[in-house]
Amino acid sequence: MLIAAQPFPFEFDLAHSALVIIDMQRDFIEPGGFGESLGNNVALLEAIVPACQAVLHAWRDAGGLVVHTREAHAADLSDCPPAKRLRGNPALRIGDVGPMGRILVAGEPGNQIIPALSPVAGEIVIDKPGKGAFYATGLHESLQQNGISHLVFMGVTTEVCVQTSMREANDRGYDSLLLEDCTESYFPHFKAATVEMLRAQGGIIGWTATSAPLLAALTPSRR
């Protein structure tokens, strides 16, 4: 398949590609969660859910591999170094009890993926202790076992976990596409800058595109 993208068209074979959905978790997306408790406008992130859902359904219907990630730590925080937990001066830190349970702790209600994008049987779910999807996870090995060479990214937030994961993917030899209308930040200018950085200098990290050309390629009736 070849779809319109920047800085030039993105070509991929569905059999060797995976849709990677980064951290679409209740605590980041839903009103009343951790993100909102820090003073962020979660409506910005919530607004991308319909576009993400459309891509997820089309990708599933086409038979593509799906990967979901959650930023999640062990209950004893043994995988959360002080350099991460003690940064800044927030009202709540990782491991503290927030509006939806303990913040960024595996198994807590707020740590779960939002219902609209819930994983189904056969999809890969990665709990990651860092910002990047490849750090201290088995993602690379799982992708290699499935013969994956190309990744299509969506999720939050653009400038932190999404960008970090795309850079990690680039270092491991994957060709990656970011869907611009399926990613967002609490700070829109951070998203804009990140999109520019990723596709700069001839696609130094990867490609970007809206979801429309991908949906058209995945759904025969739209061609």
Catalytic residue numbers read 23, 128, 161
Q: What is the per-residue burial (b if ≥16 Cβ within 10 Å, else e) of 181-219?
A: bbbbbbeeebbeebbeebbeeebebbbbbbbebbbbbbe
Q: Is 150 helix (H, G, I), strand (E, B) or coil?
A: strand
On whether the CB atoms of residues 179 and 153 are closer than 8 A, the answer is: yes
The residue behind tokens 């209600």 is 109
CA distances from 44 to 105, 159, 179, 182, 186 (A): 24, 14, 16, 11, 6
Single out the residue of 160, 95, 104, 94 nearest to residue 127, CA to CA: 104
Q: What is the amino acid identity at position 67?
A: V
User: Edge-to-edge strands of the sheet including 150-156?
Assistant: 124-128, 65-71, 17-22, 150-156, 175-184, 207-209
Measured CA to CA, the distance from residue 187 to residue 198 in angstroms comes to 17
Single out the residue of 129, 126, 3 nearest to residue 55, CA to CA: 3
Measured CA to CA, the distance from residue 166 to residue 174 in angstroms comes to 9
